[in-house]
């Protein structure tokens, strides 16, 4: 427990001392004297004796609660804070998920979104991003460790796919959301362009080569138009930047042997949904690849006025009750 403005405590103590000295000074004026005559009979009455006992107790409580109120007020003015220094574990790793959002992949993408929502909750310090593409790549989540935001965008992507089949999606922004920016011209599923786009969505790719980076890539490799860059070329770029690609493909993947060879050339892995455990196996391999952790000290400062407020309220209530009883 620390105080932001400790000088307030000294001011409060000085104020209390001033009140105490002033009270003693005033009492000396009447020391040894009587303020009324012929009071012996009244003083002998039991009721009077009880009232005097009550009066002295109330006076003590009144003064004590007043002093306490002043001290607790100055304590709150001094702004009590709690300073905590913790070691935060940061994993030196970036993970970019890249979805082919052409409709042929919808079933696989929905299931993977559900898996990823659970997967993200198991991360500890990694940065996580999401890129989607059809003929053009669009980054919907920049690399971040704000996992709540990542999960919300994965849920939005999943819901967009489901809404496409659940409703008349014409004019339905939620259903069409995944197509915004990913479709242009007459082509679709430009696989190499999507992978290259995901690669260059790593913001510090050139400046920070020490970070472990990987791409989780989901596509059926069904090319529908002339790409700017082919999948093997995009994989060469990934390998050159030491970015591993882990690819998930459906059973109907096109030119599987060539596609798999290109993916594995990055040092990553290839998985196919014909294996029921393909998604889990892929995410387990991602989780266990290139794990390194660093620790940094994080200092947090929090206001902790609760105790002072409660004490001030109690002292104020006691003072009010005593003052009313004494008819002050």
User: What are 52-74's pLDDT values in tens digits?
Assistant: 888 888 888 888 888 888 888 88
C-alpha angle 212/213/214, rounded to 5°?
135
Phi, psi of 230 (to 5 degrees): -85, 170
CA 63 and chain centroid, separation: 47
- pLDDT number for residue 271: 93
Residue 249 has pLDDT above 80, yes or no: yes
| pLDDT score of 189 | 76
Separation between Cα atoms, residue 48 and residue 44, nearest integer Å:
7
Q: Is the pLDDT of residue 135 over 70?
A: yes
What pLDDT is attached to residue 203? 86
- The position carrying tokens 């008349």 is 168
- Sort 153 into a burial class: Cβ within 10 Å, 0-12 / 13-18 / 19+: middle
Residue 58: its H or E element: helix 46-77
Domain residue spans of the chain: 2-79+305-325, 88-296
- What is the rounded average pLDDT of the residues 159-171? 66
Q: Above 70 in pLDDT, residue 169? A: no
Helix axes 46-77, 306-325, angle to 10 degrees: 150
> What pLDDT does 35 receive?
64
Q: Are 48 and 41 in contact (CB under 8 A)?
A: no
| pLDDT on residue 215 | 93
What percent of the chain clears pLDDT 90, i.e. is strictly above it? 18
Computed from CA positions of residues 101, 103, 104, 107, in that sequence, does the dihedral angle turn out positive or negative?
Answer: positive
Q: Hey, what CATH topology would domain 88-296 get?
A: Rossmann fold (3.40.50)
Beta carbons of 274 and 299 less than 8 angstroms apart: no
Structure tokens at 239: 């390998």
* Residues 94, 259 contacting (CB under 8 angstroms): no
pLDDT in tens, 192-227: 999 999 999 998 888 887 788 999 999 988 888 788
**What's the CA gap between 200 and 210, in Å, rounded?**
16
Nearest-angstrom CA–CA distance, 81 and 5: 10
pLDDT of 308: 87
For 95-127, how does the pLDDT look when each residue is reduced to its tens digit (9 = 90+)?
A: 999 988 887 888 888 888 888 888 887 777 788
Mean of per-residue pLDDT scores for the chain = 82
| CA pair distance 117, 298, nearest whole angstrom | 27
């Amino acid at each position: 427990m620390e105080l932001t403005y400790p000088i307030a405590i000294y001011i409060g103590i000085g104020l209390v001392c001033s009140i105490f000295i002033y009270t003693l000074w005033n009492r000396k004026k009447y020391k040894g004297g009587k303020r009324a005559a012929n009071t012996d009979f009244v003083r002998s009455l039991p009721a009077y004796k009880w009232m005097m006992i009550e009066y002295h107790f109330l006076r003590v409580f009144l003064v004590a609660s007043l002093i306490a109120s002043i001290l607790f007020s100055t304590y709150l003015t001094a702004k009590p804070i709690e300073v905590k220094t913790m070691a935060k574990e940061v994993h030196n790793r970036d993970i970019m998920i890249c979805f082919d959002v052409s409709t042929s992949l919808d079933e696989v993408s929905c299931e993977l979104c559900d898996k990823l929502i659970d997967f993200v909750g198991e991360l500890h310090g990694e940065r996580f991003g999401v890129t989607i593409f059809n003929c053009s790549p669009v980054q919907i989540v920049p690399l971040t460790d704000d996992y709540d935001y990542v999960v919300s965008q994965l849920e939005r992507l999943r819901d967009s796919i489901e809404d496409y089949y659940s409703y008349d999606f014409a004019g339905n922004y939620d259903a069409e959301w995944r197509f915004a920016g990913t479709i242009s011209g007459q082509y679709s599923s430009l696989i190499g362009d999507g992978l290259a786009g995901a690669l260059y969505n790593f913001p510090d790719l050139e400046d920070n080569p020490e970070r472990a980076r990987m791409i989780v890539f989901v596509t059926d490799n069904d090319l529908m138009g002339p790409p700017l860059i082919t999948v093997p070329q995009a994989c060469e770029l990934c390998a050159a930047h030491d970015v591993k690609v882990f690819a998930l493909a459906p059973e109907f993947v096109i030119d599987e042997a060539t596609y798999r060879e290109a993916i594995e050339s990055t040092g990553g892995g290839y998985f196919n949904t014909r294996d029921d455990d393909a998604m889990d196996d892929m995410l387990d391999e991602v989780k266990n690849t290139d794990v390194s952790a660093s620790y940094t000290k994080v200092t947090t400062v929090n206001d902790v006025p609760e105790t002072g407020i409660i004490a001030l309220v109690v002292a104020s209530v006691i003072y009010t009750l005593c003052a009313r009883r004494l008819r002050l």
